[in-house]
Chain A
């Protein structure tokens, strides 16, 4: 753990594999910029790897004032122990006040190890981050300008704001797509600082024997139209209607977690706090109740149509158009109406 340090920078862990930056790191730079400006401190990114210096400019173009580059052959492949050591050493050296990670397979493997080694706090899957104050005992003790780590909790009945006021850095993970990708400015200026870290072969405890990458089957994030089905669709067969509606709109099929858990469609299609966050021009929610974890991933869509047979379903609260009815009747009518207009 490090002492509370008000001048500390805001950091974003730059995740790269095979020389390509993960987009979530760039999205975090957008949010990081906002937090750093609010605190009047600098925004920095930490980049580890071997021969990755070239990526530093990209991080600057997306808003980093500084990039700490730990270039080392031993960091060529991500491994929990070696990367944990790198981050802990750099955090100890520069004492940032905030460190953000993408909630990716790597981020979720690494961040808890760093938190444990630093004896610092970590909040997973935040849906928003802000700067604000924390009062204990009606103003007896006030902690100013903390990172407010906001996430839905517990079955979705509540939104919790988590703070970490005494053992820093304040750390959080954020899913891909939750923060908007900032614009790229190729002319931005930033400092690239080369860092030496003490890592030895013993820190590489695993041997990667084989790796097989699959193309992501869907790219929900870039779809203009998403038709999402929930548990209310009723069966995998019936989910065909969701695909049909998506196809006739040139869109992609999405799903609630309940639909994924029921095996109607695979996890790549899940929208929400623990799935993908999307902002399409049109989002059609079919047989989805509208739990907060789902809404966290779609409420910023430009137009939302909700189809649900329960007029009290919370999904209607975020919708622009609400159709109360059985999806088995409504969806075919909708397909027909769209086809006849086209």
Chain B
């Protein structure tokens, strides 16, 4: 039996490379200063969806909410095997916290109509909140299984997975439809396929044409070749604006302090044998070590 999988994917700044001042004065992230990547655990979510499709049939749809630039990870998803990619982009999405984000994403999933399994990464590396998955599940009225490490069984309207419980694991069974959040230990994401890369290299969304926009012919051509990345705004989603963007976000950033670790005037110890022996002596004297 085929399954329709929806994967929510996010483009994130590569926080492992953060250097210098990556923040704007108003406390927002200076995204331009950092390379943007596919959130690592979202690749594991995508891989799990692709494995399900390859085994049982069905379709894999990826959705991202973000700036037009986020089409990079949609193309990447197509290279790896996704069947359909959707960009949700709208100025009014700006400043959304996890609650508003999950609301907007849930509207997009609802607009798809039919789906069996919604997959998210466990968490995004920019904030490490792991909130959007469970919040989207609640908004869609779905059961959720977080911290998924392995698909055990799928069939007869239910799914069985192994999930991490921190120190240990459990096997749980749930009815479909369901939302899963997937851990990096679940699988090894497949690389982009060379043929699919050739095929989808030129895939593009309307927003990527910039201010001038695309001409009718350009759009018609992309569409004819199956290379037009679908694009939805909040009107397409029939989203209630009071739950979107800044208005829809109960949490507000009050203050941003840059981190200045106060140089507490530590004692400099020479890296020599004597220097180190001296320090050990002091630590024994003050009973820090015995």
Contact = CB atoms under 8 A, between A and B. Distances in A.
B and A form one assembly: yes
Interface of A: 1, 80-81, 84, 104-105, 108-113, 115-117, 119-125, 134, 148-149, 152-167, 205-216, 225, 249, 258, 261, 268, 274, 281-282, 290, 292, 295, 302-303, 305-306, 314, 316-326, 329-330, 333-334, 336-338, 340-341
Nearest to B179: A80
Contacts of B134: 80, 108-110, 112-113, 116
B129 A164 contact: no
Contact of B271 (A105, A111, A249, A323): A323
Majority-rule SS of B interface residues: mixed
Contacts of A124: 127-131
A70 B272 CA distance: 62
A214 B167 contact: yes
B192 interface: no
A324 B252 contact: no
B259 A158 contact: yes
B172 interface: yes
Given A206-B143, A206-B174, A158 B27 contact: yes
B140 to A, nearest CB: 10
A164 B251 contact: yes
Given A109-B146, A121-B99, A338-B280, A317 B23 contact: no
B246 to A, nearest CB: 12
A210 B171 contact: yes
A119 B97 CA distance: 12
Contacts of B139: 116
- Chain B contact residues (Cβ within 8 angstroms of A): what range? 35 or more
Contact of B251 (A122, A214, A316, A320): A122
Contacts of B231: none
Contacts of A110: 134
Given A274-B128, A321-B267, A338-B289, A113 B138 contact: yes
Interface string B159-203: 010001111111111110000000000000000000000000000
B218 interface: no
B282 to A, nearest CB: 8
B266 A155 contact: no
Nearest to A248: B289
B271 A166 contact: no
Majority-rule SS of A interface residues: mixed
A15 B139 CA distance: 24
Nearest to A267: B166
Interface in B248-290: 249-259, 261-264, 266-273, 275-277, 279-281, 283-284, 288-289
A290 B261 contact: yes
B271 A337 contact: no
Contacts of A325: 271
A110 B144 CA distance: 10
B280 A121 contact: no
Instruction: Across the A-B interface, give the 7 residue pairs with the lowest CB-CB distance, nearest first.
Output: A155-B18, A325-B271, A317-B261, A121-B250, A205-B143, A121-B251, A116-B138
Nearest to A225: B289
B29 interface: yes
A126 to B, nearest CB: 11
Interface string B100-122: 00100000000000000000000
Contacts of B164: 105
A208 B99 contact: no
Contacts of B256: 153, 158-161
Contacts of A121: 97, 99, 249-251
Given A155-B18, A207-B172, A290-B261, A116 B144 contact: no
B264 A334 contact: no
